[in-house]
A and B are shown apart, each in its own frame.
Chain A
Amino acid sequence: RKEVEQDPGPFNVPEGATVAFNCTYSNSASQSFFWYRQDCRKEPKLLMSVYSSGNEDGRFTAQLNRASQYISLLIRDSKLSDSATYLCVVNPFNQAGTALIFGKGTTLSVSS
Chain B
Amino acid sequence: DAGVIQSPRHEVTEMGQEVTLRCKPISGHNSLFWYRQTMMRGLELLIYFNNNVPIDDSGMPEDRFSAKMPNASFSTLKIQPSEPRDSAVYFCASSQVTGNTGELFFGEGSRLTVL
Q: Are A and B a genuine interacting pair, yes or no?
A: yes
Chain A residues engaging chain B, CB cutoff 8 angstroms: 31-34, 42-46, 49, 87, 89, 91, 94-105
Please tell me if B25 contacts chain A, counting CB pairs below 8 Å: no
Flag if A46 contacts B104 (CB, 8 Å): yes
Q: Which of A32, A42, A89, A99 contacts B33 (CB 8 A)?
A: A99
B59 → A minimal CB distance (Å):
8
Please tell me if B108 contacts chain A, counting CB pairs below 8 Å: yes
Q: Which of B30, B50, B91, B102 contacts A46 (CB 8 A)?
A: B102
Flag if A43 contacts B42 (CB, 8 Å): no
Please tell me if B31 contacts chain A, counting CB pairs below 8 Å: yes
List, in ascending order, chain B residues with CB within 8 A of A43's CB. 91, 106-109
Please tell me if B97 contacts chain A, counting CB pairs below 8 Å: yes
Please tell me if B82 contacts chain A, counting CB pairs below 8 Å: no
Q: Which of A32, A87, A104 contacts B101 (CB 8 A)?
A: A32
